[in-house]
A and B are shown apart, each in its own frame.
Chain A
Amino acid sequence: QVQLQQSGPGLVKPSQTLSLTCAISGDSVSSNNAAWNWIRQSPSRGLEWLGRTYYRSKWSNDYAVSVKSRITINPDTSKNQFSLQLNSVTPEDTAVYYCARVRGWGHYGMDVWGQGTTVTVSS
């Protein structure tokens, strides 16, 4: 059974960097048949896909246009996990952040989700 366990701070100051980690059990971050995603949820923006990392002979990333200049998603094969970094945060980045797996190229949506991390951006 695949499980995703999120960790990271729940409070980030404006202009600083939001950092979250998602530890994978039951699957591999290096799987050739999965992609590892970050999604956030807020009352104003609903569910918003942020980006993904995946391995298909080499590592690749895709990011949402809305955060592309500020986001980095990195795999960590030694710990079988992946991370999210979002720079220069503002109160608009306050949301519940989820990590999630998709199989294949993601057409079928996210079949495994992390427990969610509530992140508040405030001084």
Chain B
Amino acid sequence: DVVLTQSPLSLPVTLGQPASISCRSSQSLVHSDGNTYLNWFQQRPGQSPRRLIYKVSNRDSGVPDRFSGSGSGTDFTLKISRVEAEDVGVYYCMQGTHWPPTFGGGTKVEIK
């Protein structure tokens, strides 16, 4: 199975400051159809995961534009341009290129 390694494990951030989360894959996530199926999820405390971004950089409906995704091949990044209090939680990357789907271990974002 594809292993997704996230860093850092924990990310203390000052309100209004940027945050960046890395996700590295054990193999290329470029699908045979040419697309790269790397997705990002947010899990707020006590809630179910929620998809934020699909196919590397496409924001889901209702997701603030302070969230952005980028990357290619095996290296991907989720950025929050200015962290707000509601962004506290754990963020997971997930790949849908190779079978079975797998998730990263998560990065916990907290306010300093």
Interface residues of A (CB under 8 A from B): 46-49, 62, 64-65, 98, 106-111, 113-116
Contacts and interface: CB of A to CB of B under 8 A. Distances in A.
B48 A115 contact: yes
30 contacts: A46-B103, A46-B104, A47-B49, A48-B103, A49-B100, A49-B101, A49-B102, A49-B103, A62-B99, A62-B100, A64-B100, A98-B48, A98-B49, A107-B37, A107-B55, A107-B96, A107-B97, A108-B37, A108-B39, A108-B51, A108-B54, A109-B39, A109-B54, A109-B96, A110-B41, A111-B54, A111-B60, A113-B48, A114-B48, A116-B48
A19 B54 CA distance: 31
Interface residues of B, number: 24
Contact of B103 (A47, A62, A115): A47
Contacts, number: 54
A111 B97 CA distance: 16
Given A46-B104, A49-B100, A107-B55, 16 more contacts: A46-B103, A46-B106, A47-B49, A47-B94, A47-B106, A49-B101, A49-B103, A107-B37, A107-B96, A107-B97, A108-B39, A108-B54, A109-B39, A110-B49, A114-B48, A116-B48
A108 B96 contact: yes
Nearest to A63: B100
User: What DSSP secondary structure best describes chain B's contact surface?
Assistant: loop
B89 interface: no
A46 B39 CA distance: 16
Nearest to B50: A113
A64 B48 CA distance: 21
B103 A113 contact: no
Contacts of A107: 31, 35, 37, 55, 96-97
A108 B50 CA distance: 12
Contacts of B97: 107
